[in-house]
Amino acid sequence: MKTRIIAIATILLMVVSAGFSIAAETLTFSSVSVPGDAHTRAMQMFKMKLKQVSNGEMDVDVYHSGQLFSQEAEIAAVRRGTIDLAYTSAGWNAEFVPYLSMLGAVYTFSGYEHMTRVLNGDIGKKIFEDVAEATGARPLAAFYLGTRQLNLVEKVGPVRTPADMKGVKLRTPGSPTWIALGKALGGNPTPMSFSEVYMGLKTGVIEGQDNPLPTDKNAKFFEVTKYIVLTDHLADSVWPTINEKKWQSLSEKQKGWVLEAIAEARKACDQQNLDNEANLVQFFKKQGMVIIEDPDRDAFQAYAKNSYRTESKEISKDWDWDLYEKIQAIK
């Protein structure tokens, strides 16, 4: 009899354990980012924190490096609900919410702190609601991706204002949006493929380019340029985004767990990228480059705003200028 009771108790325990396993909510999170990227590590942080705060009631299956989809395909998949989460951004969502193109313009944000206060604050909540309604996928936060800075050859000399950029042949990609960015920085936009930039700088076909500091290092632009100007002119972000139907299917408690885990992942992602950028300033100084740390960012911002309103009207025609002013008022 005792043996039978123990056997029954064991079976009941197995059933209960299986029941808890079945009840666990597991989300799928896909990205094309590679293991070393900060936002790939943030996926793992999100998984770990979500399991912790939910006491194992929620989990995340993480797929990075394009294991499931290409970037275009995974963004479509999260909108369809084929997967639960993927990274999107302002640019990827602007097709459906046109005013979002202004978030990728020069000096919509003055830098990382400004960007994160806006997109991870009340304005960001309104933007994310608009995206959810238009696309069927809801951004949950804005993770820092990096900030673009000016990088110039020795001939140009030190640059501190937009006036110093007059006539400078500034490489841009060939699209109208990128050409508008070059104009907004005060330069003479010169379209060129990325693969040609190194030789273009070396031969003088172009006199400058802009990219985040990690790109400048990886592409070895420091070998053929002299100045990096910390204009902080484009603080970029990626948005962990969940399928809206999946989001609405979660209980309020589950939503709270997800947001708590996302907040922890954001802190880790942002800090890693900020640390990398800070360390790279010292790296470039050791390479003999001159780092202009005090450009007149207010002057650059005012110049950019006027440039988008006037010579780049086709780019800014869909912008929400009232929202733009609200963003500028947050410092």
268 falls within a domain: yes
Instruction: State whether 78 and 129 are in the same domain.
Output: yes
Query: Would you say residue 221 has pLDDT above 80?
Result: yes
**To which residue do tokens 């802190």 refer?**
267
Query: Would you say residue 214 has pLDDT above 50?
Result: yes
Instruction: State whether 123 and 41 are in the same domain.
Output: yes
Under 8 Å between Cβ of 135 and 100: no
Using alpha carbons, select from 145, 142, 144, 168 the residue that is nearest to residue 156: 168
Instruction: State whether 118 and 185 are in the same domain.
Output: no
pLDDT band at 8 (very low <50, low <70, confident <90, very high): very low
Q: Mean pLDDT check: name the lowest of 20-24, 174-178, 264-268, 284-288.
A: 20-24
Considering Cα of 170, then 172, then 174, then 178, what sign does the dihedral take? Answer: negative
pLDDT in the model for residue 175: 79
Instruction: State whether 42 and 184 are in the same domain.
Output: no
Q: What is the DSSP letter of 155?
A: G
Distances (CA, A) of 105 to 94, 177, 220, 324: 12, 8, 26, 11
Query: Would you say residue 127 has pLDDT above 90?
Result: yes
pLDDT band at 3 (very low <50, low <70, confident <90, very high): very low
pLDDT band at 23 (very low <50, low <70, confident <90, very high): low
18 falls within a domain: no
Query: Would you say residue 2 has pLDDT above 80?
Result: no
Instruction: State whether 300 and 215 are in the same domain.
Output: yes
User: Considering its fold, how many domains does the chain have in total?
Assistant: 2
2 falls within a domain: no
Instruction: State whether 46 and 187 are in the same domain.
Output: no
Instruction: State whether 189 and 55 are in the same domain.
Output: no
Query: Would you say residue 36 has pLDDT above 90?
Result: no
Q: Whole-model pTM?
A: 0.81
11 falls within a domain: no
Instruction: State whether 191 and 273 are in the same domain.
Output: no
Using alpha carbons, select from 236, 225, 102, 233 the residue that is nearest to residue 161: 233
| CATH number of 85's domain | 3.40.190.170
3 falls within a domain: no
Using alpha carbons, select from 168, 166, 183, 149 the residue that is nearest to residue 289: 149
Instruction: State whether 292 and 251 are in the same domain.
Output: no
Instruction: State whether 54 and 200 are in the same domain.
Output: no
**CA dist., res. 303 & res. 313, Å (int):** 14
Distances (CA, A) of 4 to 11, 16, 17, 18, 91: 11, 18, 20, 21, 64
Instruction: State whether 57 and 121 are in the same domain.
Output: yes
What backbone phi and psi angles, to 5 degrees, belong to 205? -60, -35
1 falls within a domain: no
89 falls within a domain: yes
pLDDT in the model for residue 19: 45
Strands 25-30 and 58-63: parallel
pLDDT in the model for residue 155: 97
Query: Would you say residue 116 has pLDDT above 80?
Result: yes
Q: Which domain holds residue 93?
A: 24-145+236-277
Cβ-based neighbour number of residue 196 at 10 Å: 12
Instruction: State whether 132 and 200 are in the same domain.
Output: no
4 falls within a domain: no
pLDDT band at 21 (very low <50, low <70, confident <90, very high): very low
Query: Would you say residue 134 has pLDDT above 80?
Result: yes
